[in-house]
Amino acid sequence: MTSLTTVGLFAGIGGIELGLERAGHRTELLCEVDLPAQRVLTTRFPGAQLATDVRKLKSLPKVDLVAAGFPCQDLSQAGATAGITGSRSGLVDEVFRLVASPRRAPTWLLIENVSFMLHLDGGRAMAHLTDRLSDLGFAWAYRIVDTRAFGLPQRRQRVIMLASRTEDPRPLVLLGDAASNEQVRADGRANGFYWTEGLKGLGWAVDAVPTLKGGSTIGIPSAPAIWLPGGEIGTPDIRDAERLQGFDADWTAPSVDDPLRRNGPRWKLVGNAVSVPVAEWVGRRLADANKAYAGEDELLQPGQPWPKAAWGRDYKAHGLRVGPWPEQDLYQHLSEFLGNPVRPLSERALSGFLARATRSSLRFPEGLLDQVRRQLDLQRVAAKTAGPNAKAAAQLRLSIPLG
């Protein structure tokens, strides 16, 4: 087993770095501009040097791997979709600047971002990345990977790309294609959806939450809703959100002065993070990189859509069919995973979602809107009868212990 030294650019709260360390690798340098995230990094990675602005880094230490989960705001469906040259996502070019020097180049470059990057702007975002890698002499391989493959009940698909000037990244990224154990029957399970949606989408996830996000359609970080088997609808505790990303509970507590009251910044940090077990999977592959690639692929033609998995070098790309589950860990059912009571959706949140849902032409899961109306009526009755502390009383009665 090989232990690598690593640098984490756009480190966030250290999801990639924690996963790599769990696989036996060592973090030398972290770079992150966000102050709350910096507080987390200095607490959780006390042995690593911290830089604050990738644009001001003149060079990197000589390490084996550079990781970059570069900003996704310009690439995400939830963001502005300004493209790879947007003010935030365009910072990926700083990564290429820092790894350009052959004298100090790392053996490996690990890039992570949203799966929508494959389709944005007619595929130009991916063309930009792969062309820059070819400019610098890197071979590359990527695939979409789903967090659920590693047992966590969060539907979160991200592009994982590994590149190298001297090594073959294909067996590390593209081998392994496990069958999905994705659930399709919602009955008797805890199911997730975006309560901030309702007009054009729902983000419905069976036995899972939809992707935790750093932003939402209402412009602020917000937790997805969970419809529990008993009928209650609420949002997960921030500590369970951290666990849904593979962190320990309270991983982001150092980011705020009062972690029991100020959770907005923590939700943003968790939503923007890389799932730890996905990075650990990459780290394990890197530690045992002795397999040969024997995949069946075909040369992609110019203008052809980017597939869910591909590899390339020298400005040529080859696509292949592998799914987003490179392995299949024992799945943790959402209702059993939650370790803290859900927070019932407020009257305002319920009424807003219901108003959007009734205006839309979407088809909703059977019984969902009826339960929204039932919970909304209960809160309104409690608000009329419980006096000054009505909302708190109503929410308290709706809270349920989850063990």
Contact criterion met (CB below 8 Å) for 63 and 9: no
The number of residues making up the chain comes to: 403
Instruction: Provide the pairing of β-strand 139-146 with 157-164.
Output: antiparallel
Place of tokens 């963001």: 79
Count Cβ atoms below 10 Å from residue 303 Cβ, excluding itself. Answer: 8
Confidence at 342, pLDDT banded by 50, 70, 90: very high
Query: pLDDT at position 400, please?
Result: 42
Cα–Cα distances (Å) from 148 to 19, 256, 327, in that order, read 15, 29, 10
Contact criterion met (CB below 8 Å) for 249 and 239: yes
Average of pLDDT values for 162-177? 96
Provide the annotated active-site residues.
72
Confidence at 272, pLDDT banded by 50, 70, 90: very high
Q: Coil, strand or helix: which one is 322?
A: coil
**Helices then strands, each counted (H, E), the chain:** 12, 15
Res. 48: pLDDT tops 50: yes
DSSP 149: G
d(CA 20, CA 2): 12
Average of pLDDT values for 267-275? 95
Query: pLDDT at position 258, please?
Result: 79
Tokens of 147: 């967090």
Tokens of 88: 């935030």
d(CA 290, CA 146): 24
- What CATH number labels 5-180+274-320? 3.40.50.150
Show me where the domains of the chain are located: 5-180+274-320, 191-271+335-398
